[in-house]
C-alpha cells in the first residue's frame, strides 16, 4: 500500500467489514469521516479509559493489542465497552495483512463483547513494522473503582494463572526453529499456545465481587516489576516468597535457552491482587477454573523483600523487559 491514509475502498473492505460486534452504549461508532465515538452511560456509572501500544513484536499483534488494554481496564474493576485503534503500517504492508490484523482484533473483541468504535489507519515511513495502539473505554459503578494503590499492610498478595505467559508465547513463535533444535515439538507448541490465557477479565470480575483491595496486571517488567509498582503506588512494603510464584515448566525451559529471567518477562494473563483474605479469593477463583496462589503479604514500611528459601533480597524498580534480549 502507498504511504498516507489508507484508501477509502481498503478501509471499507478490510477494516469496516471486519467489525461485527455492537454495544448498545455506543451511539456513534466507526465510519468514513467519523473522527470520534460517542457513548451513553447511566447516572451512577463512570468512564474508565486506558491506552497501550504493541511495539515489541508483529506476531499476533492484533490479538495482543486488544488483550493488553482490556486487561488494564479489568485491573481497575471496569467492564470494557469499546476500543479506538491507531494502526501504523510500513510501506511494504499488503492489504491482506491489514485485513488479518482486523480479523484478529474483531475475534478478540467478539469474545469479550467489545465494540471497535473507530480510529485511524495509516501507511508511513516512520515505522518498519506494524504498530497498533489501542485506546480502551470501559465503565464501572460509581464508587466501585479498583486501583493499584489500594493495597494495605496485612493484605495477602495473590498472583493469578502463571507468570511469563505472554513473553513465552511470543518467544516460542518468533524463535520456533531454535527451540525445536533443543526441545520436543509438544513443548514448543504448548508454549506457543500460552496466548490463550492472556485475558484477565474473568478473574477481575470474581475479584471485584469479593471486594478486592487492589489489582495490577503484570505486563512489561514481569512479576518483579509489577510487585514493585503495586507496592510503590500503595505505599507499602512486601514479603514475597519466590517459590510460591506460579510459573509453567515450559516458561522455565524457554527462558533457560535464551538466558532470560522469567520473573522479569512480560506477563499479560497474570494479575496481581491484594486482598484481606487471599485464601478465600484463591478458592473462589479455583471454583471458576482459574489457577492462582497467595505469594506473600503487604507490610508496613518500604522494604520490598523477596525470599528464596534461605536467601533474602530486595526487589528493585522495574527494568527493561527481558523480551527485548530475544526479540
pLDDT at 35: 65
- Which CATH number covers residue 255? 3.90.650.10
Q: Which residue range(s) make up the domain with 43?
A: 4-141
Same domain, 104 and 206: no
91 and 196 in one domain? no
Total domain count for the chain? Answer: 2
Question: For residue range 225-279, what is the model confidence (pLDDT) as tens digits?
Answer: 999 999 999 999 999 999 999 999 999 999 999 999 999 999 999 999 999 999 9
Residue 84: helix, strand or coil by DSSP? Answer: strand
Look up the CATH number of the domain holding residue 15: 3.30.1330.10
Same domain, 96 and 121: yes
Distance CA 69, CA 46 (A): 18
Q: 61 with 158, same domain?
A: no
Q: Are residues 108 and 221 in the same domain?
A: no
Q: Cell 466501585 identifies what position?
A: 144
Residues 183 and 137 in one domain: no
Query: Which of 212, 44, 213 lies closest to 141, judged by CA?
Result: 44
pLDDT at 136: 95
Do residues 177 and 66 share a domain? no
Q: Give the end of a domain, one of 141, 171, 194.
A: 141
The reply to whether 62 and 208 lie within a common domain is: no
DSSP bridge partners of 137? 49, 82
Task: Tell me the pTM.
Answer: 0.88
- Same-domain check for residues 93 and 135: yes
- Dist. CA 196–CA 292, nearest whole Å: 16
**110 and 226 share one domain:** no
Is residue 272 within a helix (H) or strand (E), and if so which, with residue range?
strand 271-275
Distance CA 315, CA 230 (A): 12
> Which of 114, 141, 168 is at the close of a domain?
141
Task: Give mean pLDDT in consecutive 10-residue pieces for the chain, a chain of 327 residues.
Answer: 82 90 87 75 91 84 93 94 95 94 95 95 94 94 89 98 97 97 98 96 95 94 95 96 98 98 97 97 97 98 94 92 92
- The pairs formed by 29-33 with CB atoms below 8 angstroms and a separation of 24 or more are 29/82, 29/115, 29/116, 29/117, 29/118, 30/116, 30/117, 30/118, 30/119, 31/118, 32/8
DSSP class per residue in 144-163 = ---BGGG--TT-EEEEES-B
Verify that 119 and 226 share a domain, yes or no. no
Do 60 and 124 lie in one domain? The reply is yes
Residue 36 pLDDT = 73
H/E stretch holding 308: strand 304-308
Question: Among the three residues 100, 119, 141, which one is the final residue of a domain in this structure?
Answer: 141
Amino acid at each position: 500500500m502507498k504511504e498516507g491514509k489508507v484508501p477509502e475502498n481498503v478501509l471499507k473492505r478490510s477494516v469496516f467489514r471486519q467489525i461485527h460486534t455492537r454495544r448498545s452504549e455506543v451511539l456513534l461508532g466507526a465510519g468514513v469521516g467519523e473522527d470520534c465515538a460517542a457513548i451513553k452511560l447511566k447516572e451512577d456509572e463512570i468512564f474508565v479509559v486506558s491506552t497501550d501500544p504493541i511495539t515489541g513484536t508483529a506476531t499476533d499483534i492484533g490479538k495482543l493489542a486488544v488483550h493488553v488494554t482490556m486487561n488494564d481496564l479489568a485491573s481497575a474493576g471496569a467492564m470494557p465497552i469499546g476500543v479506538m485503534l491507531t494502526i501504523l503500517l510500513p510501506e511494504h504492508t499488503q492489504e491482506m495483512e491489514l485485513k488479518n490484523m482486523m480479523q484478529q482484533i474483531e475475534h478478540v473483541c467478539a469474545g469479550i463483547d467489545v465494540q471497535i468504535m473507530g480510529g485511524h489507519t495509516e501507511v508511513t515511513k516512520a515505522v518498519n513494522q506494524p504498530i497498533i495502539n489501542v485506546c480502551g473505554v470501559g465503565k464501572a459503578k460509581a464508587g466501585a473503582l479498583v486501583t493499584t494503590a489500594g493495597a494495605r499492610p496485612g493484605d495477602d498478595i495473590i498472583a493469578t494463572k502463571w507468570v511469563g505467559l505472554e513473553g513465552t508465547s511470543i518467544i516460542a513463535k518468533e524463535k520456533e526453529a531454535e527451540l525445536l533444535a533443543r526441545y520436543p515439538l509438544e513443548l514448543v507448541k504448548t508454549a506457543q499456545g500460552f496466548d490463550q490465557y492472556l485475558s484477565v477479565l474473568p478473574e477481575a470480575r470474581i475479584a471485584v465481587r469479593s471486594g478486592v483491595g487492589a489489582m495490577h496486571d503484570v505486563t512489561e517488567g514481569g512479576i518483579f516489576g509489577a510487585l514493585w509498582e503495586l507496592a510503590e503506588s500503595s505505599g507499602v512494603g512486601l514479603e514475597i516468597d519466590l517459590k510460591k510464584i506460579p510459573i509453567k515448566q515450559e516458561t522455565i525451559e524457554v527462558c533457560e535457552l535464551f538466558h532470560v529471567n522469567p520473573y522479569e518477562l512480560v506477563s499479560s494473563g497474570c494479575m496481581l491482587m491484594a486482598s484481606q483474605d487471599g485464601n478465600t479469593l484463591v478458592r473462589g477463583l479455583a471454583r471458576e477454573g482459574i489457577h492462582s496462589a497467595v505469594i506473600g503479604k503487604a507490610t508496613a514500611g518500604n522494604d520490598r523483600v523477596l525470599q528464596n528459601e534461605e536467601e533474602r533480597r530486595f526487589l528493585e524498580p522495574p527494568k527493561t523487559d527481558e523480551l527485548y534480549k530475544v526479540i
